[in-house]
């Protein structure tokens, strides 16, 4: 799935925000990002949405993110996440309290399979 037409504009807006809030951004290991085909960037992100935003602005090619499905319920943030092609992740612990263990695992597996499909497509 190609990046949305708005992706470069969102990236530009986020770059402006990064320049406003950070004096310097240091990127290590950029040479390890494949020029084509799928790849996986794994980030521990204690800073909430700051770290994914930095990855989006610094990566030389479009990035597909997985994000907790609850983030999609916020109007502006949800629209932004959908526009950049973020895959909602349904964690087993987030699926309704009355759901069976089997349906929790299924929701989680389907989320991860959707993300794996995007990686296989070369995202």
16, pLDDT greater than 90? yes
Closest CA to 51 of 67, 37, 38, 35: 67
**85: CB partners within 8 A, 6+ apart:** 1, 3, 4, 7, 62, 64, 65, 118, 123
Q: What is the pLDDT of residue 96?
A: 66
26 is a domain residue: no
> Domain range for residue 69?
7-20+39-120
**Average pLDDT of the residues in 19-33:** 91
15 is a domain residue: yes
33 is a domain residue: no
17, pLDDT greater than 50? yes
- Count: domains in the chain: 1
Indicate yes or no: pTM above 0.75: yes
81 is a domain residue: yes
> pLDDT tens across 72-123, in order?
999 999 998 888 889 999 877 776 667 788 888 888 889 889 989 988 887 6
């Amino acid at each position: 799935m190609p990046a949305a037409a708005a992706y470069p504009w969102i990236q530009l807006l986020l770059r402006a925000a990064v320049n406003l809030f950070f004096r310097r951004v240091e990127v290590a290991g950029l040479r390890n990002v494949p020029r084509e085909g799928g790849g996986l960037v794994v980030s521990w992100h204690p800073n909430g949405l700051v770290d994914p935003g930095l990855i989006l602005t610094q990566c030389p090619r479009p990035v597909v993110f997985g994000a907790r499905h609850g983030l999609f319920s916020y109007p502006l943030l949800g629209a932004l996440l959908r526009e950049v092609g973020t895959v909602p992740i349904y964690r087993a612990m987030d699926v309704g309290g009355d759901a069976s263990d089997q349906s929790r695992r299924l929701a989680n597996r389907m989320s991860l399979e959707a993300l794996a499909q995007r990686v296989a497509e070369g995202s």
